[in-house]
Amino acid sequence: MIVQKVENDQIASKFDFITPFINEYHNEKSLINGLDSLLSIHDINVKAIPFSCDKPPVEWFPIISGRSRKIKILKKYDGIQLFQMTCFFKEGKDHKEKSGLFFVYNHPEYKRTYVALTIEPSDFFRRAMLPFFFGHFPHIMMTFITHKRLKRLLENFQEENQFSKIIITRASPKCRISEEGKNEKIFPLQMWPKMQIEEAFNWVYQNNGWFQSLHFEAKKLSVVMEGSITREGIIQTNRKFSSVFKSFISPVCKLIYENIEFFDHRSRRESQNLSAKALTIDFDTDQFTEVSENKRFIQSLKQLNKASISVLHGNPYIHLSIVDYYDGSSFDLWVLNSNQVVIVPQMKSSIFSIKRLVNHIFDTYAEGDINDYKEVFT
Amino acid sequence: MNDIQKSREEIDDYLQTIHAIVGFINFFIYDPDTKKKKDDVVVFQGRRFVPSLEKSINQKGEKVNYVTPDICILLPSKNGILGEVKKSFPRDQEKWFKTFKQMQSYDDDLTGWPSIDEKVNFHDIVLLLHQSRGAAVREFFENHKGKEICIERPFTIVEFNRSDEGKGYFFFRTALGRISEQTIDNILKYGKQVPMNIFITSYSTIKIYDDEPPLPYLMQLIWENVVSSKASESVRFEKLRRNQKIDVDIKIDNIIDVLYQCFSFRILYSKGKESVRQPKIPKREWIMNACQKFVDLKEAEWCEQGKTSIKFFFRQYKDVLSHFIELCADEDQEYMQPKLFKDQESQ
């Protein structure tokens, strides 16, 4: 393996495979295969950001260039676009700029779902690309991967590729820690556990937390590839891009698409007779058995930034009125069962806002399954 | 109890009354066998009925144009139910006669039912009240019936109670009389617990009825559903900081219309069954009171002397309801303070 890598590095140093790859015509298949080939020759990483966008990136990204950032379309193919992003920043007294390329892959199966792909160095990715994608919420939406789903993704990846082991080499878990008499706090941690999937996930579950990101290596006889995945679905890999695309990127795109479909058209404005289309978060266990739990839940909701949380009732049941100051979406939230939260979207309710609220509950309180609310009459 | 707690209790009482109306109506509109809504039962809240000639003049000699019971239910048999909901009764029992006078006004051959000839074959009269007052009000009625209180039509007192143990449910039970609709009578005779979770969408869409809501609650409804919504159309909304504001001009008619369309009992009315007999809730005077309060609290200003539109100064509050409860309580304190000194001076 090491010998192979040295040989590849020698070939890569003699030949530039990246420039022709960038310049050649791409379709969805050639882009994935091309990246796969590049990784087997060059010592580089592919970084992928699966996202959804309320307007097609090809039309919108160049328009939202600002003073600190310029985005240009270099190439436009069917379903693939190549962009150049230049960021302007100050380092001390010096004005500097950083430029890099990225592809946007329009997922052929999942509408309004895209993947930004780059092989630029981490510095460009962290300083230019990520702030751009995170900074344009709620117009650009990534996903959230629950603890259970993240574990399943890793297990499937191991099984599909017949890896003997997947070792979690570095993790950034966040744990919900409550001290007696104080509000619950979320503590970020950094750890290098060298654990296998089951062990690592058990640890974080027992500590009432979740993985914000994790780095892993997949092994057969020796290490085959190294990769990472975040709770928002951002993926990096240094090998086996096609497999990573199939096992991680595509399922994350599917998740984004399913969320869009599920959260869309929930505004009462869009319903006949202005009726409400509520949704539920169902927990595996009875969460709300003690009154103190109501308080804990309300406190965690009140941490939602850029929102108003009004408590109409807090005990024995919970009734909140929520306004999202990102876009004016509003909701009623009810807890009337010990294992269920019901969210009732009001007149305006965007996909982004529902996602933000659900994500916040998952992060700061507990994760559950999202379902349609079923009205059962007695 | 301080003003803030009092205000919160008033809001809770108001919402409890709405939830009791929704729960009581449910007995008539949902079929327990099919677990579906009956299409042939028509319900209304706060509908105007015209009294018969005999009852069109009250005891003071004044003309009575209409009566407006809280609950109106028309069954497919062309029988009906008129109901009044009272979450609280005053301590002074003399004042209870007022409620029974109201009940007596429903004991009449009223016109205005949602039927072709606007009449019913016969109707029941129901007083829906909180369980804490059930026994006392029943005793009061029995002591005065046939004397000061005369109701000829079937009259029933149904008591309700919201459980404060476990997760919420409403309990309904007949405290006096029988409901003519046999199936409902059988259910209510021994009492029925109705879990609140089955009405979540109704509770979230019906937030006002034909009684004036507590002021901070009405202000919250306006702020969250009319002002925030309008402010969100501004390009500045998303990036607005907590110390910044957006001016939002809104017509009073628009506020009334949004709250009526989105948060009144209108949502329960069958399509096309809205009529002129149905007063538009919220009433204009309630909205004018609330808007004047926004102006007094410097959260808004009138756009012109005619007070047909108002400019709100939209800001992002972390807890809109608490914000208005606290502001209203503070203002009441300021109002009380000089009065207190005046009283002391005059002593």
Q: What is the pLDDT of residue B274?
A: 62
Q: Which of B194, B196, B198 sits opposite A375 (nearest CB)?
A: B198
Tokens of A253: 């795109």
pLDDT band at B268; cut points 50, 70, 90: confident
DSSP state of A270: G
Q: Do B319 and A316 touch (CB under 8 A)?
A: no
Whether A212 and A302 map to the same domain: the answer is no
Least Cα separation, residue B203 to chain A (angstroms): 9
Least Cα separation, residue A268 to chain B (angstroms): 8
Q: What is the pLDDT of residues A245-290, one digit of tens each?
A: 999 999 999 999 999 999 999 999 998 889 999 999 999 999 998 8
Whether A6 and A105 map to the same domain: the answer is yes
Q: Which of B15, B36, B195 sits opposite A378 (nearest CB)?
A: B195
Architecture in CATH for domain B215-336: Orthogonal Bundle (1.10)
Alpha carbon distances (Å) from A21 to A110, B125, B179: 26, 82, 81
Q: Do B196 and A328 touch (CB under 8 A)?
A: no
Radius of gyration of chain B (CA): 22
Q: Which of A310, A337, A378 sits opposite B320 (nearest CB)?
A: A310
Residues from A in contact with B at Cβ < 8 Å: 138, 268, 273-276, 278, 288, 302, 306-313, 315-317, 319, 321, 323, 325-328, 330, 332, 334-338, 340, 342, 344, 346-348, 373, 375-378
The boundaries of the domain holding residue A315 are 268-372
Residues of B in contact with A347 (CB under 8 A): 225, 229, 258, 262
Q: Which of B167, B262, B322 sits opposite A316 (nearest CB)?
A: B167
Q: What is the pLDDT of residue B186?
A: 94
Domain boundary, last residue among A140, A166, A193: A140
Question: In this structure, what are the phi and psi dihedrals at residue B271, rounded to the nearest 5 degrees?
Answer: -60, 130
Tokens of B321: 């309801």
Contacts across the A-B interface (CB distance below 8 Å): 134
**Quick check: B336 pLDDT over 70?**
no
Q: Does residue A243 lie within any of the structural domains?
A: no
pLDDT band at B343; cut points 50, 70, 90: very low
Q: What is the pLDDT of residues A339-375, one digit of tens each?
A: 999 999 999 999 999 999 999 999 889 899 999 998 7
3-state SS, residue B327: helix
Instruction: For A278, name the nearest residue in chain B, comparing CA atoms only.
Output: B201
Q: Do A276 and B195 touch (CB under 8 A)?
A: no
Q: Do A330 and B224 touch (CB under 8 A)?
A: yes
Q: What is the pLDDT of residues A51-86, one digit of tens each?
A: 999 889 999 998 887 778 899 999 999 899 999 999
Please give the mean pLDDT across all residues of chain A: 89
Tokens of A149: 């789903």
Q: What is the pLDDT of residue A92?
A: 86
Mean pLDDT of B292-303: 96
**Quick check: B279 pLDDT over 90?**
no
Burial class (CB in 10 A: 0-12, 13-18, 19+), A18: middle
Q: Which of B200, B232, B321 sits opposite A336 (nearest CB)?
A: B200
Q: Do A342 and B261 touch (CB under 8 A)?
A: no
Sorted by sequence, the CB contacts under 8 Å of residue B59 that are 6+ apart come out as none
Instruction: Please state, in angstroms and rounded to a whole number, the distance separating the CA atoms of residues A55 and A129.
Output: 18
Assess contact for A266 and A345: CB atoms under 8 A. yes
Q: Which of B16, B28, B33, B201 to mutate to test the interface with A (most CBs of A within 10 A)?
A: B201
Q: Does residue A350 lie within any of the structural domains?
A: yes
- Looking up tokens 């990715």 gives A125
Instruction: Please state, in angstroms and rounded to a whole number, the distance separating the CA atoms of residues B296 and B320.
Output: 17
Q: Do B225 and A311 touch (CB under 8 A)?
A: no
Tokens of B72: 């109106």
Whether A214 and A272 map to the same domain: the answer is no
Q: Do A344 and B36 touch (CB under 8 A)?
A: no
Q: Do B224 and A323 touch (CB under 8 A)?
A: yes
Assess contact for A242 and A203: CB atoms under 8 A. no
Assess contact for A172 and A188: CB atoms under 8 A. yes
Domain boundary, last residue among A81, A110, A140: A140
Q: Between helices B252-263 and B215-222, what is the axis angle to 10°? A: 100
The residues that bridge with A89 in the sheet, in sequence order, are A96
Sorted by sequence, the CB contacts under 8 Å of residue B302 that are 6+ apart come out as B291, B295, B309, B310, B311
The residues that bridge with B155 in the sheet, in sequence order, are B125
Q: Does residue A100 lie within any of the structural domains?
A: yes
Least Cα separation, residue A211 to chain B (angstroms): 29
Neighbours of B230 (CB within 10 A): 20
Q: Do B198 and A278 touch (CB under 8 A)?
A: no
Whether A282 and A353 map to the same domain: the answer is yes
- DSSP line for B27-78: HHHEETTTTEE-TT-EEEES--BBPPGGGSB-TTS-B---B--SEEEE-TTS
Q: Does residue A242 lie within any of the structural domains?
A: no
- Its ipTM equals 0.90
Q: What is the pLDDT of residue A222?
A: 86
pLDDT band at A197; cut points 50, 70, 90: very high
Tokens of B71: 């609950």
Sorted by sequence, the CB contacts under 8 Å of residue B82 that are 6+ apart come out as B49, B69, B71, B72, B106, B110, B123, B124, B125, B126
Instruction: Please state, in angstroms and rounded to a whole number, the distance separating the CA atoms of residues A156 and A254.
Output: 15
Q: What is the pLDDT of residue A65?
A: 75
The residues that bridge with A369 in the sheet, in sequence order, are A282
Instruction: For B272, name the nearest residue in chain A, comparing CA atoms only.
Output: A273
Least Cα separation, residue B236 to chain A (angstroms): 10
Where is B313: in which H helix or E strand?
A: strand B309-314
Alpha carbon distances (Å) from B274 to B24, B267, B314: 21, 10, 34
Mean pLDDT of B90-110: 92
Show the 3-state SS of B254-273. HHHHHHHHHHCHHHHCCCCC
Q: Before B282, cis peptide (omega within 30)? A: yes
Q: What is the pLDDT of residue A290?
A: 86
* Among A143, A107, A117, A116, CA closest to A39: A117
Instruction: Please state, in angstroms and rounded to a whole number, the distance separating the CA atoms of residues A86 and A83.
Output: 10
Instruction: Please state, in angstroms and rounded to a whole number, the distance separating the CA atoms of residues B203 and B207.
Output: 7
Q: Which of B225, B238, B318 sits opposite A326 (nearest CB)?
A: B238
**Quick check: B338 pLDDT over 80?**
no
Q: Which of B224, B254, B261 to mutate to test the interface with A (most CBs of A within 10 A)?
A: B224
Mean pLDDT of B78-93: 91
Q: What is the pLDDT of residue A173?
A: 84
Q: What is the pLDDT of residue A2?
A: 41
Q: Do B167 and A347 touch (CB under 8 A)?
A: no
Assess contact for A157 and A227: CB atoms under 8 A. no
Sorted by sequence, the CB contacts under 8 Å of residue B152 that are 6+ apart come out as B107
- Looking up tokens 């850029």 gives A306
Show the 3-state SS of B68-129. CCCEEEECCCCCEEEEEEECCCCCCHHHHHHHHHHHHHHCCCCECCCCCCCCCCCEEEEEEE
Q: What is the pLDDT of residue B34?
A: 82
CA B117 to chain centre: 28
Least Cα separation, residue A232 to chain B (angstroms): 22
Residues of A in contact with B198 (CB under 8 A): 375-378
Q: What is the pLDDT of residues A119-161, one digit of tens each?
A: 999 999 998 999 999 988 888 999 999 989 999 999 999 999 9
Least Cα separation, residue A352 to chain B (angstroms): 13
pLDDT band at B339; cut points 50, 70, 90: very low
Instruction: For A315, name the nearest residue in chain B, comparing CA atoms only.
Output: B164
Q: Which of B164, B200, B203 sits opposite A373 (nearest CB)?
A: B200
The residues that bridge with A24 in the sheet, in sequence order, are none
Instruction: For B314, name the nearest residue in chain A, comparing CA atoms only.
Output: A325
Q: Does residue A38 lie within any of the structural domains?
A: yes
Residues in chain B: 347
- Direct distance between the N- and C-terminal alpha carbons of chain B, in angstroms, rounded to an integer: 27
pLDDT band at A206; cut points 50, 70, 90: confident
Q: Do A310 and B220 touch (CB under 8 A)?
A: yes
Q: Does residue A211 lie within any of the structural domains?
A: yes
Q: What is the pLDDT of residue B346?
A: 41
Residues of B in contact with A319 (CB under 8 A): 15, 203
Q: Which stretches of chain A are assigned E, i.e. beta strand?
A: 46-53, 69-77, 80-91, 94-106, 113-118, 140-141, 165-177, 185-188, 195-196, 209-219, 223-230, 235-237, 279-282, 307-313, 318-324, 330-337, 340-345, 369-372
Residues of A in contact with B194 (CB under 8 A): 378
Mean pLDDT of A87-98: 86
Whether A41 and A112 map to the same domain: the answer is yes
Instruction: For A323, name the nearest residue in chain B, comparing CA atoms only.
Output: B224
Residues of B in contact with A308 (CB under 8 A): 224, 316-320
Please give the mean pLDDT across all residues of chain B: 90
Among residues of chain B, what percentage have pLDDT more than 70?
92
Instruction: Please state, in angstroms and rounded to a whole number, the distance separating the CA atoms of residues B48 and B110.
Output: 10
Taking the domains of chain B in order of start, what are their residue ranges?
3-205, 215-336
- Domains identified in chain A, total number: 3
